[in-house]
Structure 1
Amino acid sequence: MASYDRRTGGSRRPPRAGETWWYAAVAGEAAGSFSTRIRTRTRRACLGAVLLLTLVYAGLVLTATGRRWGDAAVTGRRADTRVADFVRDHPSLAGAATLSLVLACLLLVAVGALRRRYALTGAAAAAVAVSVALAGLLQRFAPRPRLAEGAGALAPSGFPSATATLAFGVAFALPLVVPRRSRELVTGAATLWAVVLGAYSVATGDHRPGDVIAGAFLALAVQCGLIALLARRGRGRPGTRRGTALRGLPATLPLALLAAGGLAAGFLLLGETLGLPATAPYDPDELRLAHRCGQALAAGAGAAAGLALLVLVRHVDLDGGPAPYRLGGPFVEDSGAPDQGELVGPFTENRDHEIS
């Protein structure tokens, strides 16, 4: 109760008629409450995503081997004739990718507005905006190595990709606004769409694979931080566990296969592509292999990030209010509380209580 006491700088929201905000606050802060467990899980996931983002940055941006591998993965798109022919024969895909990003942002806001989840819609849109803003700040101010032949010029870097960050940010924000019964299906399909956009940006040479991977981890970190904040404010309650997994199987199964297959193939090929020579000429076969390795790693990492978010919020109903807290123990039983299995309020039925 101390954190909600006005004398200690707590919440100043006045109680309303029929509102149980005081009880919800106490129940949400209890050690074993549902909100506390959700907050702990998402906070750890946020820190884990930040750690992975840092490792990708240190390995693929700050090291010469990582930069050489990223350049080879981008250059290898020309050596891979199937990818080069596909991009050349479909120039309209660039406009379609931009249009899909705009429509995805509008869809996110429209679904939340139609369901009248205005607060969650605003939080989801803010999370997407924060993700893109952080990506821009990292591109501008993150330390980068200097070119060997340039007079102090910095090596160009698109880390992390703003396009991938926006796509994954919208996909990961959808669980806040879509109905829970269709959360897995919609979020899984949106994550697959974001993976495709990331693969296209690598195939066109706009971004390196590490930039796309970093965009997925950055969006995941921001979204997990937002859910932890919502849980801290008592948002979310246990949802039903029946039927939701089967509804989302058409999207989550391909997502799981893509995550497992992409990461496995990427790491297997990574050992063969890290030994590139420091200077040209490069073997076209090695460049082609580096491009395929980068595509596999980017797709696997993006799909794994989407699956991680779905696992974190699988049994969480973000539309509902705070989770009710179950009182127990000999004191409650002796004071005339209802039978076991029922959820009781902060006071017992006989209303024989005292606040000291």
Structure 2
Amino acid sequence: MASYDRPRAGGPPRPLQSGDTWWYAAVAGEAAGSFSTRVRTRTRRACLGAVLLLTVVYAGLVLTATGRRWGDAAMTGRRADSAAVTVLREHPSLAGFTTLSLVLGCVLLVAVGLIRKRYALTGFAAGAVVTALALTGLLQRYAPRPRLLDTVGLATSGFPSVQTTLALGVALGLVLVVPYRLRGLVVGAAVLWAAAVGAYTIAAGQHRPGDVIAAALVVLAVHCGLLALLARRGKVRPGARRGPAPTGLPAIVPLVLVAAAGLGAGLWLLGDTLALPATAPYDPAELRLAHRCGQALAAGVVAAAGLVPLALLRRVDVDGAPAPYRLGGPFVEAAGVPRDDEVVGPFTEDLDHEIS
């Protein structure tokens, strides 16, 4: 068999060699069951799942009276939560620190990519953050929602949360620019920071829990779609057998605990908080319970949204894979060395050849 033949139908697959051509690599990468196809399939499914969950959250917490009442109770209950009130009163600089951390996070994302000379991946990561922010702005402005009078001093609906979108977008953008072996540690710590930013916006009364949950799902959908696009373009390769898990355990273990505890406690408390009466007055204990339920659910969803890309990219390296194939063989040697801007194949110009 010549070096440029495809495998015969039903025959044993021929192992790839360094002399195989670019078109053989493209055929192998698009084949069913190939590594790129598997990565693309699971990231695309995660993107569609995030969009579906976002639709459910929007319908349940924005369009229904029960969901809006729960969100308002969670915001009102922050005044009855002594722990949240104490932290905000004793640390008034948290507002400025949160804004500063968001700016530094954006600078860190771009700086790491530029220092490591991953210019294309840095552009993709920054583009994903901008896309998520644009979708957030469009949803805030144009998503239909009931127009209610603000009679209790609650903030207007900010569905989804811009702060959480930016924080989690930066955290998941680091997946593309940090080294493969440090991915778990860096991304896990960044997702924990994003969960803290979302918790602060709820405690400060800037956003409802549903706004933070929706922001996490928007970011997850955008980044999973980007990863599917990169896999389709063949920008992924198998990572080392000993991946980033051991070095990332100090950050991944707390992230898993936050996701499990937040989702478990939040769903357990949700049944009691949804049974709030339709009209005031409310019991302060019920409002405090609603606030803590919202905090737990928001933190759990943000942490889970950070764990999903790490799980999807387990043993997957997106860090600028070198081209494993090159032009070679007797036909290419007969045709001469091509120029950089010349598109060539495995055949000579006179097309006088025969593949056995």
* TM score, norm. by length of structure 1: 0.83
Q: 1:72 to 1:115 in 2, by over 3 A?
A: same
Encode CA deviations 1:81-137: one digit per residue, 9 max, x unaligned.
111121012111100000000000000000000000000000000000000010000
Aligned-residue offset at 1:159: 0.5
Aligned-residue offset at 1:32: 1.6
Which residue is equivalent to 2:334? none
**Stretch moving more, 125-134 or 81-90:** 81-90
Which residue is equivalent to 1:66? 67
Which residue is equivalent to 1:342? none
Question: Number of aligned pairs?
Answer: 310
Structure 2: distance between partners of 1:355 and 1:41 = 37
RMSD of the TM alignment (CA)?
Answer: 2.2
Q: What secondary structure is seen at the aligned counterpart in 2 of 1:98?
A: helix
Residues 149-160 of structure 1: matches in 2 within 5 Å? 156-160=156-160
Q: What secondary structure is seen at the aligned counterpart in 2 of 1:160?
A: coil
Q: Percent identity?
A: 73
Aligned-residue offset at 1:320: 3.8
Which residue is equivalent to 2:350? none
Question: Which stretches of structure 1, 4 residues or more, deviate above 4 A after TM superposition?
Answer: 322-325, 353-356
Q: 1:166 to 1:149 in 2, by over 3 A?
A: closer
Which residue is equivalent to 1:197? 197
Encode CA deviations 1:268-324: one digit per residue, 9 max, x unaligned.
100110011111111000000000000000001111111111000111110243886
Amino acid at match of 1:43: R
Structure 2: distance between partners of 1:148 and 1:124 = 39
Q: What secondary structure is seen at the aligned counterpart in 1 of 2:200?
A: helix
Does the Cα contact within 8 Å between 1:236 and 1:322 map onto a contact in 2?
Answer: no
Which residue is equivalent to 2:137? 136
Does the Cα contact within 8 Å between 1:235 and 1:322 map onto a contact in 2?
Answer: no
Structure 2: give runs of 5+ residues left out of the alignment: 1-18, 326-344, 347-352
Does the Cα contact within 8 Å between 2:47 and 2:221 map onto a contact in 1?
Answer: yes
Aligned-residue offset at 1:22: 2.5
Structure 1: distance between partners of 2:162 and 2:124 = 20
Does the Cα contact within 8 Å between 2:168 and 2:191 map onto a contact in 1?
Answer: yes
Which residue is equivalent to 1:8? none
Q: 1:289 to 1:34 in 2, by over 3 A?
A: same
Q: 1:114 to 1:322 in 2, by over 3 A?
A: closer
Q: What secondary structure is seen at the aligned counterpart in 2 of 1:240?
A: coil
Which residue is equivalent to 1:333? none
Determine whether 1:255 maps to 2:252. Answer: no
Which residue is equivalent to 1:214? 214
Determine whether 1:279 maps to 2:279. Answer: yes
Which residue is equivalent to 1:311? 311
Encode CA deviations 1:217-260: one digit per residue, 9 max, x unaligned.
11010000001001111111000121521110000000001111
Structure 2: distance between partners of 1:317 and 1:80 = 44
Does the Cα contact within 8 Å between 1:195 and 1:302 map onto a contact in 2?
Answer: yes
Aligned-residue offset at 1:21: 3.6
Which residue is equivalent to 1:39? 40
Does the Cα contact within 8 Å between 1:164 and 1:215 map onto a contact in 2?
Answer: yes
Structure 1: distance between partners of 2:354 and 2:94 = 68
Determine whether 1:170 maps to 2:170. Answer: yes
Which residue is equivalent to 2:292? 292
Amino acid at match of 2:65: A
Structure 1: give runs of 5+ residues left out of the alignment: 1-17, 326-345, 348-352
Structure 2: distance between partners of 1:87 and 1:149 = 24
Does the Cα contact within 8 Å between 1:24 and 1:322 map onto a contact in 2?
Answer: no
Encode CA deviations 1:41-83: one digit per residue, 9 max, x unaligned.
0000000001111111010000000000000001100001111
Which residue is equivalent to 1:246? 246
Encode CA deviations 1:140-175: one digit per residue, 9 max, x unaligned.
00011132799xxxx932100011011111111111
* TM score, norm. by length of structure 2: 0.83
Which residue is equivalent to 1:124? 125
Aligned-residue offset at 1:20: 4.7
Structure 1: distance between partners of 2:21 and 2:228 = 22
Which residue is equivalent to 1:269? 269
Does the Cα contact within 8 Å between 1:79 and 1:284 map onto a contact in 2?
Answer: yes
Residues 72-151 of structure 1: matches in 2 within 5 Å? 72-147=73-148
Amino acid at match of 2:57: V
